[in-house]
Each structure stands twice: as structure tokens, then as C-alpha cells.
Amino acid sequence: MTRVAIVTGGTRGIGEAISLALRDKGFVVAANYAGNDERARAFTDRTGIAAFKWDVADHEACLTGCAHVAETLGEVDALVNNAGITRDGTILKLSYQQWKEVIDTNLGGCFNMAKAVFPGMRSRGWGRVVNIGSINGQAGQYGQVNYAAAKSGIHGFTKALAQEGARFGVTVNAIAPGYIDTDMVAAVPSDVLEKIVARIPVGRLGQAEEIARGVAFLCSDEAGFVTGSTLSINGGQHMY
């Protein structure tokens, strides 16, 4: 039986690694993206994974986009809410628009996408939802009240939705990555990055593939007894 997975923000960085990992596990993958058409085409040419464009912050676009994926590839069995943005700044400098954009995309996107696919998963008696949180949603981070709030909200969202899906064969889990070697982290000034790495007990940044392997497990049949859980993959930087 072939299963279909949607990975939001699935054409680059951690999302690309997740799309590839799920493809390699036998899923038919739809990689959602919001902006860069040229990069999405290059991703599809390179991987053979279909890319679908919509903004996860737009509720109606999510409903329409997921319906289009279902019509094109089949009913959606797994959802990975990976799409995320940053608009960093201390609260003295942070505008309401910067706050709203991050909340609407990073947290609102989880609701919008789950709203679109959860009913079908429940009615068919099998589903996997994996939400990508963050170490900064667990521990906080200076200059990221918007991002930390959104990512922290994801962990609460995960636990609540897990309770709704459990008896219908739908598991809902989260992964909280630490600092991963992606374009987003590469934009951090080198002196700041050195200080970050110095606080990671394993002594290095994580790799996107390490997050993807966690997602692939949580989307598998073998993970059927795991729900409402957050898997922290952070090199030991934050333990609790």
C-alpha cells in the first residue's frame, strides 16, 4: 500500500531532507513551498518529488492545496508541518506585523494544514502528523519572542491534537531540532555561531538528515504507540 505525505517547506533545508527520507521509505511525497519557483523546479528535477505552491499561513489556500494533492497523488496519510520563518528582534524593535507573520506561518500553518487533512486520516483509521518545533520553543531565545512563542505553541498543539487522534489510529508528534547546518543557521554571524556551537555538548551543528530520520520513524507503522511526544534532536544542548 502506497501512502502519501505532505511536507510543508519541503523543497529546501530540513524540509528537503524530510521529503527525501519519506520518499526513500516508500511514501509518495508532495513538497509544499511558498515562494521560490525556480528553486522548487530545480528540487523536483533533482529528486523527482512533486512540488506544490501555497502559503501555509493562508487557511483557504491550505484547504485548496491539500485537496489538489489528494486529487493528484491520493489521499494524504502523513503531514509534516515543517514550514517556518523568522522575523527576529527584541520586543522593543519588533513590529506587530513581524509578530503576526511568524505566528501565522509557524503556528497558524500547523492548524491550517491539520484542519485540511486530519478528518480524512481519522475516517480512514490511519494517519501521521509530525510538527517541527524548536529548541528555542523549549528554552526561549533572546530576540525571538515571536518565533519562540510560535514554536512553543506547536508543542502544546501537538499534545492536544494527539488526544483527538489516538483512538482513530492517527498519531501526532513533534520534533524539536537544535541548531542544524542549514541556510537559516548559516545566516547567523560567524562569531555568534561559534558561541552557539560551544554550548552544544556534542561539539557540532546537527545535520538536516538527522532530523529527517526522526520524522521518518514517527511516520512509520512501527511508531504507532508513540503519540503526543516531542523528540528533541539537539546534541544535548537543552535537556529537561
Domain CATH code at residue 184: 3.40.50.720
The pLDDT, as a whole number, for residue 108 is: 98
pLDDT at residue 190 tops 90: no
156, 69, 43, 33: CA torsion to nearest 10: -50
Q: Is residue 237 part of a domain?
A: no
At 98-135, the pLDDT tens digits run 999 999 999 999 999 999 999 999 999 999 999 999 99
- Mean of all residue pLDDT scores within the chain: 96
Task: Decide if pLDDT at 141 tops 90.
Answer: no
Number of domains into which the chain is organized: 1
Contact between residue 24 and residue 47 where contact means Cβ atoms under 8 Å apart:
no
pLDDT in the model for residue 183: 80
Look at residue 40 and tell me whether its pLDDT is greater than 90: yes
pLDDT of residue 139: 87
Rounded mean pLDDT, 192-212: 95
Interhelix angle 59-73/108-124, nearest 10 degrees:
40
Residue 205 forms part of a structural domain: yes
- Tell me, yes or no, whether 200 lies in a domain: yes
Residue 239 is assigned to a structural domain of this protein: no
φ/ψ (deg, to 5) at 174: -130, 155
Q: How confident is the model at residue 189 (pLDDT cuts 50, 70, 90)?
A: confident
Active-site residue, from 96, 147, 179, 240: 147
Note the pLDDT of residue 117: 98
SS3 of the chain: the string is: CCCEEEECCCCCHHHHHHHHHHHHCCCEEEEEECCCHHHHHHHHHHHCCEEEECCCCCHHHHHHHHHHHHHHHCCEEEEEECCCCCCCECCCCCCHHHHHHHHHHHHHHHHHHHHHHHHHHHHHCCEEEEEECCHHHHHCCCCEHHHHHHHHHHHHHHHHHHHHHHHHCEEEEEEEECCECCHHHHCCCHHHHHHHHHCCCCCCCECHHHHHHHHHHHCCHHHCCCCCCEEEECCCCCCC
Q: Is the model's pLDDT at 214 over the cut of 90?
A: yes
**Domain enclosing residue 168, as ranges:** 4-232
Is 191 a domain residue?
Answer: yes
Evaluate if residue 184 carries a pLDDT over 80: no
Of residues 56 and 192, more confidence is placed in 56
Domain assignment present for residue 238? The answer is no
> Is the predicted pLDDT of residue 16 greater than 90, yes or no?
yes
What mean pLDDT is predicted for residues 219-227?
A: 98
Residue type, 97: Q
Name the percent of the chain lying above pLDDT 90: 89
C-alpha grid cell for residue 110? 500547523
Residue 124 lies in a domain: yes
Q: Is residue 240 part of a domain?
A: no
Q: What is the per-residue pLDDT for 225?
A: 98
- Is 147 among the catalytic positions? yes
Positive or negative torsion for Cα 205, 109, 102, 31: positive
* 229 close to 129: Cβ distance less than 8 angstroms: no
